[in-house]
Structure 1
């Protein structure tokens, strides 16, 4: 019975957003909708991404989760508690269960690393020794054992964000909200912070919710993703399914920023960077008689066979790969290749049929 109860709790959502709207009123009395009819559920113990352009409502959404803002319509439920129904005291208690980190770190410059992490525990029920033990454990978790007596100004940006993560975890939260937490960091430091967040998620069981405008961040760490556009939810699903088969125009444009396949237009028609419908230059690919320009994409999980080698060997088709962007997302290959295929008409036809039978998306471009 105990094990079943634990499994049910892990499977249940920790955050439920139900038909939420948020309207802000400006000084001139004009109303502006930041969110409109947004509904989503966030699984307990997962890593959830919320992505969108500036002004899409991402930060507003997580401010509703921790009760900094109240929804104008709809409900926000966190771990079984409706945030809008809580009084001031109850909300303070709930916020202790929700940690948060920001783009600018928000550390206290006049306090040491140790004291920055200790600060959230000043009103806790823990004894003095227990508090210090907690801070020491968190310093070890974020890899800053040797920086306890340093000041924020003596640390790199990545180290400061590690301190911020440790401070956010001090009160032992169930949820960690990350608002553009890696936007001010260089690419290598960003990857190290994302790996740390994954380790926090796995070792402590904390649900991590990441707000970002970078699809590469979502691809690196998240299990599921929601895409916001002008305050509306336009797409939601597992990271693999969203990358493999994006439905919304905005999602496709985000994914294009992480993929070499975005350069496909230059191969086929010379590209159209200004979006005026007129090619910017001459096509980079000129086919000889009997050649075809073919794009293949992995769109389903479970495909691990050396398919291109099989096509070459079995069907006598030569493939000159021009673009390739295959990587692993959620433990499965995703992406695709584009190349010039040459061989007999029958061989190419059979090769295409073979790939489609393997759940590979095949498109003959020329």
Structure 2
């Protein structure tokens, strides 16, 4: 198409350290985005026109926030932007405006709950009944999902998508994975488990057999929710470039997170990975609000579950970075 056919430009976050990718949409391809949100993502989470949808993001150039907002608007729900607000202001807005649906990253949902507790507010008593998450695998990690649901007293759902591809998947009431939207994409899985996708409705800037970088295990077993789409079992395992090795064992941050989130009081964590004398050394930095937190107990649980030892260190509150965007769970350090 000529440039004058395009009506929107968005870009990736560049969180992997590379330059951001910029992507164009025509009016028709943008409508395709919003239709998928309304007919698949929101429907699977039982969001209706009667809901009040609060989007806890700053509305920058990243497409996910805008498409989620537009999809809720297309559905007929009341859309509430949380842009240009502090976390405290967002908590207050959620309460004052009677929001019933929250959209955020999984980590930021837990962060809002921590902030609310500091304000003397229990978000489990708010009107929020559904939370939908993207940007991280957390909503498909049982321990993280359980923590979010306990903090908000709400049902939590996962959503997958990419700026380059579009909204690719949603979790359902079965709570055991993410359905891939095969009516809008052609999906393939390589021999080493990488998801490959072709989008069918983004004609202005399409992708054919695009390597997503996501490691998955898929199943075509019938789902109790009735969806005909195949499912990523347990959600995305991890990114190809996020895998790290400890004593010959390949691991993903999501495996570590599932153990870490089972320990009450963990506020934030980061995995530090470095090579020393041709050996992989991994440290787990943990912030905790629990006075009696045991790093030794966490180390033991990780060793039992993963088969390797991770050096766990408790760091002072406020040491680790926070973001309403994707949290960087692993930091690769040089020798």
TM-score in same-fold range (> 0.5): no
TM-score, with length taken from structure 1? 0.27
Greater RCO between the two (CA within 8 Å, min separation 6)? Answer: 1
Name the larger-Rg structure. Answer: 1
Q: Which has the higher helix share?
A: 1
